[in-house]
Amino acid sequence: MKRRILILSSALLLVFSANQTVYGQSENNATEEEKFKFNLGFGAGFTTGYGLAFRYMPKKFGVQANVGPYFDEDTERYSLGLTFLYNIVESRRANLYLYQGNHYYYNTYLDFIYAPKQPNQQEPYEVKRQESYLNSGVGLGAEIILAERLSLNFMAGYAFYRNFRSLNLTGETAFFFKF
Top pLDDT among 24 and 58 is at: 58
Mean pLDDT confidence for 1-12? 49
The ranges assigned to domains in the chain are 1-34, 36-178
Instruction: Report the chain's mean pLDDT, rounded to a whole number.
Output: 85
pLDDT at 96 over 90: yes
The C-alpha atoms of residue 149 and residue 44 are separated, in whole angstroms, by: 20
What is this structure's pTM?
0.75
Asked if 100 and 137 touch (Cβ cutoff 8 Å), the reply is yes
Top pLDDT among 166 and 35 is at: 166
The C-alpha atoms of residue 62 and residue 8 are separated, in whole angstroms, by: 51
Please state which of the ranges 19-23, 96-100, 171-175 shows the lowest mean pLDDT.
Answer: 19-23
85 burial via Cβ count (<10 Å: 0-12, 13-18, 19+): buried
Q: How confident is the model at residue 101, as a pLDDT?
A: 98
The C-alpha atoms of residue 128 and residue 117 are separated, in whole angstroms, by: 22
Mean pLDDT confidence for 127-151? 96
CATH 2.60.120.10 fits 36-178, yes or no: no
